[in-house]
Structure 1
Amino acid sequence: MTIDLTSFRALSFDCYGTLIDWEAGIVAVLGPWAHEQRLDLTAEELLRAYAGNEAAVEREIPTARYPDVLAEAFRRTGTDLGGAVSDQWAHRLGDSVPDWPAFPDSADALARLRSHYLLIILSNVHRDGFAGSNRLLRGDFAAVVTAEDVGAYKPAENHFRALDTVLPDLGVARSELLHVAQSLFHDHVPATREGLPSVWINRRHDRPGWGATPEPGDGWSYDLEFPSMAAFADAVDSAFST
């Protein structure tokens, strides 16, 4: 272990991919669409085709609300795969965020972590979408920063710069913040750039490839790695008990 988990007062979290199983949510729409289009593709193949398109839309239209990003990314994915994406299908994905399932360990891990830290959300989503997801997470978050709030999507720096306002309001120094996320591309690249220590929740530790997340191309690092939120919460409980 390279950092002292007891030295931090707050945790900032990515949500989708870390706490919410966004890949399951995306495939729940792309899978039936592919079947309708008679495209013989696995879930991993669909996610791989989709990943770059979502990142591109977020980069090109940073002020778009997340449902519109999802819809446009779906249309572009359809073009790449040779299948038509109707407005109905596009909006079905765009409107699906509140239906995406939480990972089974997320709510319990958050409750345990809340006994040690203030919890902050830094998410590439819109406020209404996160509110729907938090009904599953039951998280007691001290602050929530979304793409809708900052007018950009990670890995842009906007979420992390917003911490300059959020942290002083909570009485927390930047040196007392630890970032927790699954996506190397969306979170650990900018966290490294911003000088924030981080924990990688490697949800895909038992699967090859990057799934719905583009492969990270820039410099990135992390201080600790865990296969799940439960394992991370166990390590925190252990650190505070000694």
Structure 2
Amino acid sequence: MVVPRALAFDVFGTVVDWRSNIIAELQSFGTHHGLQRDWASFADAWRAGYAPAMDRVRRGELPWTRIDDLHREILIDLLDGVRVDEAEIDDLNRAWHRLTPWPDSVPGLHRLKQRFVITTLSNGNLSLLTNMAKNAGLPWDCIISAELFGHYKPDPEAYLGCAQLLDVAPDELMLVATHPSDLRAARACGLRTGYVVRPLEHGPGRPLPEVADGEFEVVARDFIDLARQLDA
């Protein structure tokens, strides 16, 4: 395998544990407001609303919309008329800015950073990714968001735009992600692919996505293993 010059990371699920963090924030919110809900299912529904909301933008039903704003619309629908102060809704929506990393993420990124340019390539908006990096100590060389291109992943413009901003050829850039669909779209654009297995992204006991043998150039159990395989 030709070693890439730069690594671009999907963030939600790959770098940070969105589900555990969102459930904890929702439980705290529910306790404060005396609300009884299945907060784990609520968190899953909040996340599940994200792809259909992006598709509304792609179809032209909505103008380009930041993920923060899509998240807020989904949250309001899920709260289903619960009377909550607007400032409290805004604060709960910013839970996505406060996500914490998987235990291996920060040490693994520090190792990888010694050899490669490391950046985000996420549908999260720039302010969200910046606040998350600040809060979680994520040592990115730069932060690249789909917001810069006006196209969400898996649109080709996001992958090719990332390579262009970094001044590398597509095959000099590796996308690192835990979502095979993201990696397949990147591969179709000529990027290299690194699959990191995150069995707990959707909670314990969930089946892993199906991946064919040899489908991705690197398959790693975590970021430390990824660094080892890339000689970082």
* Structure 1 residue 193 displacement after superposition: 3.0
Counterpart mapping for 1:1-242 below 5 A: 4=1, 7-33=3-29, 36-39=34-37, 41=38, 43=40, 45-61=41-57, 63-79=64-80, 84=82, 86=84, 87-88=86-87, 90-135=89-134, 136-141=136-141, 143-168=142-167, 172-185=168-181, 187-204=182-199, 207-209=204-206, 221-237=215-231
* Structure 1 residue 42 displacement after superposition: 5.9
* Structure 1 residue 210 displacement after superposition: 7.5
The unaligned stretches of length 5 or more in structure 2 are: 58-62
* 2:195 aligned partner, one-letter code: W
CA contact (8 A) 1:167 1:174 kept: no
2:195 and 2:83 map into 1 onto residues whose CA distance is: 34
1:133 and 1:15 map into 2 onto residues whose CA distance is: 10
2:225 and 2:99 map into 1 onto residues whose CA distance is: 22
The unaligned stretches of length 5 or more in structure 1 are: none
* Structure 1 residue 111 displacement after superposition: 1.2
Q: Relative to structure 1, is the Cα distance of residues 210 and 37 closer, same or farther in structure 2, using a 3 angstrom cutoff?
A: farther
CA contact (8 A) 2:124 2:146 kept: yes
2:122 and 2:9 map into 1 onto residues whose CA distance is: 8
1:134 and 1:210 map into 2 onto residues whose CA distance is: 29
Q: Relative to structure 1, is the Cα distance of residues 49 and 95 closer, same or farther in structure 2, using a 3 angstrom cutoff?
A: closer
- Higher mean Cα deviation, 91-100 or 200-209? 200-209
> Over aligned residue pairs, what C-alpha RMSD do you find?
2.9
1:231 and 1:198 map into 2 onto residues whose CA distance is: 15
Q: Relative to structure 1, is the Cα distance of residues 225 and 76 closer, same or farther in structure 2, using a 3 angstrom cutoff?
A: farther
* Structure 1 residue 207 displacement after superposition: 3.0
Q: Relative to structure 1, is the Cα distance of residues 78 and 192 closer, same or farther in structure 2, using a 3 angstrom cutoff?
A: farther
TM-score by length of 1: 0.75
What is the number of residues matched between the two proteins?
217
1:85 and 1:108 map into 2 onto residues whose CA distance is: 42
Matched position secondary structure for 2:11:
coil
Matched position secondary structure for 2:206:
coil
1:110 and 1:85 map into 2 onto residues whose CA distance is: 42
Q: Relative to structure 1, is the Cα distance of residues 144 and 209 closer, same or farther in structure 2, using a 3 angstrom cutoff?
A: same
CA contact (8 A) 2:177 2:196 kept: yes
Matched position secondary structure for 1:163:
helix
Q: Relative to structure 1, is the Cα distance of residues 76 and 178 closer, same or farther in structure 2, using a 3 angstrom cutoff?
A: same
1:56 and 1:210 map into 2 onto residues whose CA distance is: 22
* Structure 1 residue 150 displacement after superposition: 1.8
* Structure 1 residue 102 displacement after superposition: 1.9
* Structure 1 residue 122 displacement after superposition: 0.7
2:53 and 2:192 map into 1 onto residues whose CA distance is: 28
2:155 and 2:173 map into 1 onto residues whose CA distance is: 19
Matched position secondary structure for 1:153:
coil
Matched position secondary structure for 1:96:
helix
* Structure 1 residue 189 displacement after superposition: 3.8
TM-score by length of 2: 0.78
